[in-house]
Structure 1
Amino acid sequence: MRHGRRLFAITFLVPAVAVYAVFVISPYLQAFQISATNWRGLSPKWDYVGTANFRNLLSDEYFWNALQHNAILLAVLPVATITLGLFFASMLSVGGHGGRAGVHGIPGSGFYRIVYFFPQVLSVAIIGILWREMYAPNGGLVNGFLRAVGLGALARPWLGDPDVAFWAVLFVMIWSNVGFYVVLFGAAMQSIPREIYEAVLLDGASRFTTLWRITVPLLWDTIQVAWVYLAIIALDGFALVQIITNGGPAFSTDVIGLRLYNTAFADAKFGYASAIGVAMFFVTLSVAIAFLRLSRRERLEY
């Protein structure tokens, strides 16, 4: 009987693993091989150059400029998104006071969940095009709103100013991700016994104290997973940047994913682009492992 179950499991696993190996693992391995060549992607001819592509990365100002932007995204995107996600989820789940007995969310919680989650039903392409038009200097909704409320002096070409274009794109990244984590953290909060929040409420704790001292420690495992996922998004950032600004103006919004894409398909340097990809593979892996080790703490039981 046990042998039959094992054969049944293998029958279904082998095709899936084979497809995964061919279409996922194999391209990853090929990237390591291509990174050691000068292949231009348009010809079967190539020469082995060893570590030359990686040495060139050390003096490539465009690579370091893009990496600097990814580092800023890594420092800001996870922190801002998780902080806002926790705050909104806490308000929608346990933030209501008065009017009703027990612990509950603020009035209209169900509607707000839909509003926050709405960006998740839109594709990245739609989000990018939508915000590109909203940031338009003439006729864009952002500048139109500022002028309508008497703040016309703040209106500017958001995506044409090198000093603010990067931060405008970063805002879109935060906006497009917060809703998912509001739902994720809200679902995790439902597993926390209501008695804990009721006891804290009776003790007169503020909302901030409840969030920081109760919710965050009990949701730490979920927060860890959220941070790793957002860190990967921050170290990529290709889709939104490519759609909204394509790295401009003056490379002020360039990121590693876009630098890799342009190096391969615009400059026809597939070997060098693969070296960029391999470097980012190890950077992403190192960041994820480092965070998981530094944030490790004893699991709380309730």
Structure 2
Amino acid sequence: MRLKKALRKDLFVTAFLICPMGLYAAFVLWPYLETFGYSFTDWSGVAPPSRFVGLENYVALFQDDVFLAALWHNAQLLVVLPVVTIMLALFFAFMLNAGGRRGAAGVRGVAGSAFYRTVFFLPQVLSVAILIIMFQATYRSDSAGLLNGITAALGLTDPDDPLPWLASPDAVLWCILAILVWQGVGFYLVLFSAAMQSIPKEIFEAAMLDGASRSQVFFRITLPLLWDSVQTAWVYLAIAAMDGFALVASLTPGSSYGGGPDHRSEVLATYLIRNFLTFGKAGFACAMGVVIFAITLLLSLAVLRLTKRDSVEY
């Protein structure tokens, strides 16, 4: 009787999973496998592949100066974006939850913390199209641009000689990074705040009664208890750092899909799309996609491994 019930349960679960697993295999796994196969051909993206070229696309990939430059730019984003975003989000989350004065009600956040939390989260609900329009006006290279207007009003720049933010080879990548940080801080602030609110306030109060400073409370209590959330945030930000396509393609100069000036803001995603749609080098682009997939997978595994710690219970 128990065996029949177990079989019925297994059949029910299997029947329930067949449809979603079939859709996942058809629309996710199979395209990955096709991309891997096409990367060994001379596929143009239109007609079926006519010639097997083996590792030729991969060899050409690592001899391509633009690809290597794009890889370096993604590496810079990969280092800076998670560090800056997580540090800012942790700082603001701590201030909003435990940074205020300790009163009769115990440890609390700064005054108006609910309002600040909403303000910080606002960029997260904006679509990419709205972000692009906003920062096109912010980074305008004439005196009507928001940043040029502010710097001119403060006397930092000459109104007749505005800064070419997105047209500057030295500044363009950092302008894109600033947008990514500005957009992401609010989401991770809410993530860390939710995790912080699950920590009993008595732990903070006991530490402060023992004479611990705010910085000691943060580094010795708050951060270790939030480490699982920090680890998750690091993985997602690493994935975001390997993308950046929409902002680079829409905001930066270039003949197609941005990346300028002189490929100084090129990222892997924009170079992939340009090879696939503009140059007709679909096999080469598929090889690039496989490399991006491998890098992202390895980075995620490395982050999970390097940031692994024993769980702290309270």
TM-score (norm 1): 0.96
Name the SS for the 2:242 alignment partner. Answer: helix
Q: How does 1:1-302 map to 2 (within 5 A)?
A: 1-98=5-102, 100-138=104-142, 139-153=144-158, 155-245=162-252, 246-302=258-314
Residue matched to 2:255: none
- Alignment RMSD: 1.5
Q: Which range is displaced more, 87-96 or 43-52?
A: 43-52
Q: CA–CA distance in 2 between the matches of 1:31 and 1:130?
A: 35
Q: Which range is displaced more, 146-155 or 20-29?
A: 146-155
Q: Which amino acid aligns with 1:213?
A: R
Partners of 1:116 and 1:179 within 8 A in 2: yes
Q: CA–CA distance in 2 between the matches of 1:178 and 1:43?
A: 44
Q: Which range is displaced more, 131-140 or 270-279?
A: 131-140
Q: CA–CA distance in 1 between the matches of 2:217 and 2:128?
A: 35
Q: CA–CA distance in 1 between the matches of 2:102 and 2:156?
A: 37
Q: Percent of aligned positions with the same letter in both sequences?
A: 50
Q: CA deviation at 1:30?
A: 0.5
- CA distance 1:159–1:66, change in 2 (3 Å): same
Q: CA deviation at 1:200?
A: 1.5
Q: Which amino acid aligns with 1:281?
A: F
Q: Which range is displaced more, 172-181 or 137-146?
A: 137-146
Q: CA–CA distance in 2 between the matches of 1:204 and 1:158?
A: 47
Partners of 1:34 and 1:274 within 8 A in 2: yes
Give the number of equivalent residue pairs.
Answer: 302
4+ runs deviating over 6 angstroms:
none
Partners of 1:200 and 1:210 within 8 A in 2: yes
Q: Which amino acid aligns with 1:38?
A: D
Q: Which amino acid aligns with 1:167?
A: W
Name the SS for the 2:124 alignment partner. Answer: helix
Q: CA–CA distance in 2 between the matches of 1:211 and 1:88?
A: 12
Q: Which amino acid aligns with 1:214?
A: I
Q: CA–CA distance in 1 between the matches of 2:138 and 2:185?
A: 19
Q: CA deviation at 1:206?
A: 2.4
Provide, for residues 224-243 of structure 1, a one-character-per-residue CA deviation record: whole Å limited to 9, x for no partner.
Answer: 11101100111122122112
Q: Which range is displaced more, 127-136 or 265-274?
A: 127-136
Q: Which amino acid aligns with 2:265?
A: T
